[in-house]
Structure 1
Amino acid sequence: MTILVTGGAGFIGSNFVLDWLAQSDEKVINLDLLTYAGNLGNLKSLEGDARHVFVNGDICDRNLVDELLATHQPRALVHFAAESHVDRSIHGPGAFMRTNIDGTFALLEASRAYWSQLQGEAKAAFRFHHVSTDEVYGSLKPTDPPFAETNPYEPNSPYSASKAASDHLVRAWHHTYGLPVVTTNCSNNYGPYHFPEKLIPLMIVNALAGKPLPVYGDGQQIRDWLYVKDHCSGIRAVLERGTLGETYNIGGWNEKANIDIVKTVCALLDELNPDPAGPYSRLITYVTDRPGHDRRYAIDARKIERELGWRPAETFDTGIRKTVQWYLDNSAWVADVQSGAYKDWIGTNYGGRA
């Protein structure tokens, strides 16, 4: 038995591959283009493991995807590959349209052709699992109930608009062609191997380097935080037991304001790696907010609990402690990903903010 994973060298994808192979001997074909956030260092522990086959390639390359499906005959395709950073989508939306929309279209068409020629149990068992985001639902007011699967789509950034488009494609391919799909929309992930352009890893690596901790606007933007290993277990549950054509929200039940996240990271670093120069919170710097910054996201994850019996194992307190400790224990990984291109991006995004 085999599964095909796209984007399996990225943050969530690599955690999923590692988690999958820690619990199963089922082979993983891992297709990743290794753009700036894709990192084979995330998968170093799998070197020489015959259960992991890495393919450096583009999900938009239909011929390549057709070949992988025909050669390896996977029972499922789990689609993580996506451009995912809102700030990058504001600076350059084109890459988001190509990867998130065109790439998903190519995967759907390749999967449809492959699935159509399967027979019997193999055809009945095949799944296309599309991994998406809560950002497709837009922004919530302080008193609004959390996003449910029935919420209308109101994406507000080029990133979330491209993911919303991909969600609609997946839905359409199920309803029009019968392709056996499931979709999951997750809240903000955090944990090991998170590329340090995102809030939590950026705060950790900047604090350890004695650099400013840039907080957008007033820092009161609220997100629901999901430990990445909990996200992986939720995906496994939906892949195994989810109803075809359905969407499942995967959330952590942890709504936190950005400034509170930053202060929590500072406090943990004060405890685990004290700085002789003083508390890390001295580095907090408020900067100009991003354009169109959504104010609040929150996930209602009752459907996946009710139908599939899934709940997150980590609280935010346990998950964030594990995350900070991981970055302290893996300084070599952090140094490797902070390349010249990463430094150029940080300068581009934060250099002009007052």
Structure 2
Amino acid sequence: MAHAFPFSAIVGQEEMKRALMITAIDPSIGGVLAFGDRGTGKSTAVRALAGLLPEIAVVDGCPYNCAPDRINPDCPHCKAQDHHTVAQRPTPVIDLPLGATEDRVVGALDLERALTKGEKAFEPGLLARAHRGFLYIDEVNLLEDYLVDLLLDVAASGENVVEREGLSVRHPARFVLVGSGNPEEGELRPQLLDRFGLSVEIASPKVVADRIEVIRRRDAYERDRAAFLATWAEAEAAEQARITTARDLLPEVIVPDALLVHVAELCLALGADGLRGELTLMRAARALAALDGAREVTDHHLREVAPSALRHRLRRDPLDEAGSTTRVTRAMDTVLA
């Protein structure tokens, strides 16, 4: 991750970059789903985000990323120690491969300790490593059903519970879920789709100059990685500072009642199911305001995030052939006129 392509060097794809940054500011938004053409920088952007995320304070040596001020009382590592040393650790950005086994994802019996020492010990899985960070799934629409069911359970409860081989382990597993994929290869299950707070549409650049700039930057990165990273170091530091400042400002950002009215009217106009759309839209607009350094959310912020927050929550209308983004835009023009 230390040598990932710089986030600030990515050409275009502003909606995707904005969505990733505001979920880094407020993880309660619920994650990002990026669907679009192959080779458009979806994976690059997610892995580049790791370079912008501030470090987190953890109990030194804890594989579950326990926060020093909120230690899990059931943590096998922390409860065995009388004193806890605080350490700083990069915010985890963990890849979940499509072919991962259930044991690798949730954790399993540590066979090495069982065979060499005769001890029953738990070996944490990917969910433990992703706690307090990001869990990234490329080609998420091709994920096996049993892994989808598992992720839905953990996303709903915020905990990973493992009961097997005489082991009983329960640990927090709260993370920002990020998925990417090509819609031509299959749709996402509705239950999992609903768990993503934001959905962004990715397309290949249509402007010749943009395509040329993508080629130039990627070629420069691959030919002399150290020099390219040095060139973009200042821009990366500035983006990291924006995220850190926005996190500090977020609790002070005001959401006026008039804006909440617009949020509710917009979701009603679009026929969005449930209230998750309203909550996500409000949180995303507030996080964007914090990113912009504003202390009050305005209709401008609402317009910027509404397509991402609502396009994947719309029911299909057989009488309306317009795409979901167009339907959201039309509703905004009416509600926010």
TM-score (norm 2): 0.30
TM-score (norm 1): 0.29
The structure having more radius of gyration, on CA atoms, is 2
